[in-house]
Amino acid sequence: MQAHSNFGLLSAQSIRQFQALDSAVNNVANADTPGFKAVMLTFLPDRESPWKGKVPTSPRETTNFTQGNTISTGNPLDMAIVGEGFFTVETPQGLAYTRDGRFSLNSRGEMVNMNGHLVTGDKGVIVIDGDHVDVDRTGAVQVDGEVVDTLRIVRFQNPAGLTRMGEGMYLDGEGRAGALEDGESVVKNRALEQSNVSILEEMVRFIEINRVFESYQKVMHTIQDMNQLSTNRVGRVG
């Protein structure tokens, strides 16, 4: 009975290692995605589980919101934020926030992000009707020398309260992150913020996860062999 319980506990732990590995793989896959923030997956003990908190079963994502490096692109609709701010975009799920400043124009001349979501300014949707576009350090959008709007940039009292929705965007549907107007961050035009993923750190995580998983597998095989041996002995006694 004890062996069976230990086997189940180790199986649960092995599944957690697969989940942690998946998180690390996702980070590496997005190492070249502008504005991407690395995610660390940790697990919390669940006192209601069959193992009464002996094995962590509740996954929790922790996002690393530290600043990534910026690179120049020469594209007038590429923008990077230096500071804690986020660009604001409209999505079907409500306002979302992103550090990915790869913007373009749709067929109506509206500024959109890579997923086609409208980028918002102080006046609402930003419309570009002209030939020459510049954005200054405050986020003011100038078209042919005239300011048409200012990018809406916000920061958060508690960034950990944001919900990751994929594609480099975050939601604050319940207001747990505490959005504030950001007058401190600086916009760099014709530039993009690089991902803050450290390939070296992720490779170290790969190695550690694989070592732990392999150790679990060895113990599980040992338990299986012990169970088989016990079954055979019982069979002979009968």
The vertex-124 CA angle with 119 and 130, nearest 5°, equals 70
pLDDT > 70? residue 8: no
pLDDT tens sequence across 54-106: 555 667 788 999 999 999 999 999 999 999 999 999 999 999 999 999 999 99
Alpha-carbon span 33 to 100, nearest angstrom: 8
pLDDT for residue 1: 42
pLDDT for residue 20: 79
Q: What is the mean pLDDT of the chain?
A: 84
Please give the structure tokens belonging to residue 211.
């070592």
Q: Show the DSSP H helices in the chain as ranges.
A: 2-29, 199-237
pLDDT > 50? residue 2: no
DSSP state at residue 78? B
Give the pLDDT mean for 18-37.
Answer: 89
pLDDT for residue 5: 46
Give the pLDDT mean for 28-43.
Answer: 91
Whole-prediction pTM: 0.79
The DSSP code sequence of 201-220 is HHHHHHHHHHHHHHHHHHHH
pLDDT for residue 53: 52
Alpha-carbon span 161 to 86, nearest angstrom: 14
Give the pLDDT mean for 163-170.
Answer: 93
The DSSP code sequence of 116-159 is SPBBEETTEE-B--SS-EEE-TT-EEEETTEEEEEB-EEEES-G
Give SS3 for 79: strand
pLDDT for residue 211: 77
Give the pLDDT mean for 165-193.
Answer: 94
pLDDT > 90? residue 47: no
Where does the pLDDT of residue 48 fall: very low under 50, low under 70, confident under 90, or very high at 90 and above? low
